Structure 1
């Protein structure tokens, strides 16, 4: 669920669409002028059958969509720093703040 929401937010940010909340994410993605081909289907597959293969499908679709400022390894490092280590700093992870 976290991957699906984070990936969707990246596409919305690319389109400069303000994220209204998880309840609206599917509708907002359909309204986005630019989205990766097969992205909605990849997200649906991930939510229906979570696993490494489905997660890789979402990430591959997202990474092939455009040149992002972070590569996959740097994105993982950022995720760990922002989310997994939040307990160390006492801050809320970005998705909750």
Structure 2
């Protein structure tokens, strides 16, 4: 990525995917990239990445019932949403720089 926000985006990536947290960084990275995640997270991560407007209290309650803590749910949500946004940013930037 070229431009004045390169350092900011790199810092965001590092904080979300590798920073301190209760969820293992490998799981946060997987949620962010759309890679395989444990079954308890799979449907939720997919929904956050592809249709976040469809997340309901029921989705969160199901994760809690499966033993996920609120902090884990928060971190996975942030990782999945940030990863999806960064992926879309990268696609958009590549499209802007392609030769016609």
Task: Note whether the superposition's TM-score is higher than 0.5.
Answer: no
Higher-helix-fraction structure: 2
**More relative contact order in 1 or in 2 (CA 8 Å, sep 6+)?**
2
TM-score by length of structure 1 reads 0.31
TM-score by length of structure 2 reads 0.31
